[in-house]
Amino acid sequence: MVGIILAGGMGTRLRPLTHVTNKHLIPIFDKPMIEYPIQTLKAMDIKEILIVTGPEWCGDFMRFLGSGKKYDLKFTYKIQDEAGGIAHALALAEDFVGDENCAVILGDNVYEDNFHDARVTFDTKEEGSMAMAFFKKVPNPTRFGVAKFNKDSGKIIDILEKPETPPSDMAQTGLYLYTSDVFDIVKKLVPSGRGELEITDVNKAYLKKGAFEYAVVKGYWSDAGTFESLWKAGNHIAYKKLGK
């Protein structure tokens, strides 16, 4: 399995900070945001990682991260010339992934959980086409893709993107595992009302054909794409490290 970190976008919710640098290079407590998804993928025993970012700050990423040698990893970089949604950024990884399975993580997501076992299980399955996403109970599900469950079986039957009336409080977090056919699915997507190719629509395509699995994230998880979530994530990590 190879890894993909999606670190593009304009970072409009964190302006004026993102007038200076890419959102994913802003610090969360004592290190740049991008290092948290790198740690998550490394803990999954993934060695090769593609970093997708925009053209404005790509040099900053390369200066800071380099080849990946200091992390005992191998980094490749890809430029997303214009923002077109998470699935649009994912499409740029097709040549990098080839016939491998891939773990896709959003560059502003911070996890305590270790997904190594999930990765091993996913890699050893022989069903062919498959996707897996990770969900977490949240107090504000309207910010996320939200799972709708069958009341009898407990299985996910739909995923709604930023619904005004959420069918549950289980939010889709920013980590996904896919078989290599994910790019065939992305090519068939149409832009959402926001004019973007949505990762939720990718997962719904797998769900429709009965090839979607999910797990619940253990421990702390947050994105850090708003001032509030950035502050909360930094406080949580500082408390864990300093014990205060």
pLDDT digits (tens, 9 = 90+) for 213-222: 999 999 999 9
Q: Is residue 217 part of a domain?
A: yes
Longest CA pairwise span in the chain (Å): 52
**What's the mean pLDDT in 188-214?**
89
pLDDT > 80? residue 195: no
Q: Is residue 182 part of a domain?
A: yes
Residue with tokens 């599900």: 141
Q: Is residue 190 part of a domain?
A: yes
Q: Is residue 163 part of a domain?
A: no
Q: pLDDT over 70 for what percent of the chain?
A: 99
Q: Is residue 16 part of a domain?
A: yes
pLDDT tens digits, one per residue of 101-142: 999 999 999 999 999 999 999 999 877 889 999 999 998 888
Which pLDDT score is estimated for 110? 95
Q: CATH number for the domain including 59?
A: 3.90.550.10
Residue 58 — pLDDT band, cuts 50, 70, 90? confident
Range of the domain at 120: 2-139+172-242
Residue 10 — pLDDT band, cuts 50, 70, 90? low
Q: Is residue 153 part of a domain?
A: no
The residues facing 92 across adjacent strands are: none
User: DSSP per residue over 174-209, as a string?
Assistant: EEEEE-TTHHHHHHT----TTSS--HHHHHHHHHHT
Q: Is residue 145 part of a domain?
A: no
SS3 8: coil
**What's the mean pLDDT in 147-157?**
87
CB 219 within 8 A of CB 136: no
Number of domains in the chain: 1
Q: Is residue 135 part of a domain?
A: yes
**What's the mean pLDDT in 161-177?**
92
